[in-house]
Every structure is written in C-alpha cells, then in structure tokens.
Chain A
Amino acid sequence: EVQLVESGGGLVQPGGSLRLSCAASGFTLSSYWMSWVRQAPGKGLEWVANIKQDGSEKNYVDSVKGRFTISRDNAKNSVYLQMDSLRAEDTAVYYCARDYSSGWYPVDWGQGTLVTVSS
C-alpha cells in the first residue's frame, strides 16, 4: 500500500523558513516523479512543484520560484520542500503526492501538513 506522510509544518513568522518532509513507503520512490500541492484554508488546490526521479528536473509555480526548493533522497525514501522567505499567502495545507509515469498528474496523496505564516 502506498503511503505518503508529511511532516514539518507549523507556525512561522513572515520572512522565516520551514522544511517539509514527505516519507514514502509501499513503492519504489526512485521510480516516480513527486509533487507538492497546497491548499489555503477554505480555498482550492494549487500545484507548487515537482521533481524527477533522479532529481535532475524540477518545476515550480511562479509564485514560489526563488523561495522554495524541492529535493529528494531516494535512499531515505523521502521528498522535501525547503520554504524560505515565507509570506502570509503561503499559509496552507501542503500535500505530498506521487505522480503518474513521467510526471503527468498526482495519483496518490498524503494527508497533508499545515503551514501557518503569521506574526
């Protein structure tokens, strides 16, 4: 059974940093693209970033480019999202997701971790 467990969320001040982790199990992480998708409270879904199997390709939504960095450690079965220069508008539940095939669309999702950016 595919399991994705996010951690690392919490309350952070504007301008601060946070690192989210996604622990993957039940499948071979090195065979899949992985994504982060977020959802602000009471709002819709927003794709944030994804990363190729070997980490050689990364894609980001414009609003986080230069501030967020997606990475992975296949040996540790983990995917990460380093979030710097956080803003109030980054407040959201962040989901880790396993993409289908060559990074086409998220198939399996974790339960999410809440990030709150507030002073």
Chain B
Amino acid sequence: DIQMTQSPSTLSASVGDRVTITCRASQSFSSWLAWYQQKPGKAPKLLIYKASSLQSGVPSRFSGSGSGTEFTLTISSLQPDDFATYYCQQYNSYPWTFGQGTKVEIK
C-alpha cells in the first residue's frame, strides 16, 4: 500500500497569508493525486485532481503541484472560508489512501 504523509498536521495562519501543505508518498507515482477540503460535520469537497488540475467551481487561489513522492497544495491568499482540514489522496493504485490531514487554523 502507498502511505501518504502530510505536513504539517496543524497550521496556524492569518487571512491573506500564503499557505503551503505538503504530501509525501511512500512510493513514487506520476500525477494521480487529489486534494480535498473538509469542514466540521460536512463531507469532503474535491479541490484538485491529477495533482494540479483545479476542480470546476474551486477558487483560483487554490493550486496544486508535484509528482513522484512530493506534492503540494498552495492557497495563495487565505480567506475566512478556507479554515478547514485538507487531505491528499492517491489514486495511483489500490487501495486508495489518504494523508492524515492538515488542519488550517486561525492565527
């Protein structure tokens, strides 16, 4: 199984900050990675697929990059609605696996 490790686990930031979350894979693969946002009590929401493709309707301040074993999610200017938990997920091979999550908190 491919293990996905996110860092940091928690991130404190202010509105307007540039935020970067890293996801590292235990095995190398191409671009078969997605990013999700989840708010308390709600279902996850797809933000990014194929490592860097923005899902329809998602604000352009979200971007993704990477391949191999290191991937990043960047929020260019953090907005109040962005305080949430973010997960990466690989779909290169079964079983699909998620990172443990990164909680973005208000500083």
Residues of chain A whose beta carbon lies under 8 Å from any beta carbon of chain B: 37, 44-47, 50, 59-62, 95, 100, 104-107, 109-112
Interface size on B, residues (CB 8 A): 23
Residue B46 CB within 8 A of the other chain: yes
- 22 of the cross-chain contacts (CB-CB < 8 Å) are A44-B87, A44-B99, A45-B36, A45-B38, A45-B87, A46-B98, A47-B95, A47-B97, A47-B98, A59-B94, A60-B95, A104-B32, A104-B91, A105-B49, A105-B89, A105-B91, A106-B44, A106-B46, A107-B46, A107-B55, A109-B44, A109-B45
Q: Is the CB of B95 within 8 A of A44?
A: no
Residues of chain B whose beta carbon lies under 8 Å from any beta carbon of chain A: 1, 32, 34, 36, 38, 42-46, 49, 55, 87, 89, 91, 94-101
Chain B's nearest CB lies how many Å from the CB of A108?
Answer: 8
Chain A's nearest CB lies how many Å from the CB of B98?
Answer: 4
The B interface, classified by DSSP as helix, strand, loop or mixed, is: loop
Q: How far is the CA of A111 from the CA of B38 in the complex (A)?
A: 12
Quick one: which of B1, B45, B100 contacts A44, CB cutoff 8 A? Answer: B100
Chain A's nearest CB lies how many Å from the CB of B90?
Answer: 9
With contacts A44-B87, A45-B44 known, is A105 near B96, CB below 8 A? yes
Residues of B within 8 A of A46 (CB): 98
**Assuming A60-B95, A106-B46, what are 4 further A-B pairs, CB within 8 angstroms?**
A47-B89, A50-B96, A104-B49, A111-B43
Residues of A within 8 A of B97 (CB): 47
Residues of B within 8 A of A111 (CB): 42-43
With contacts A44-B101, A45-B89, A105-B34 known, is A59 near B95, CB below 8 A? yes
Q: How far is the CA of A112 from the CA of B43 in the complex (A)?
A: 7
Q: Is the CB of A105 within 8 A of B46?
A: yes
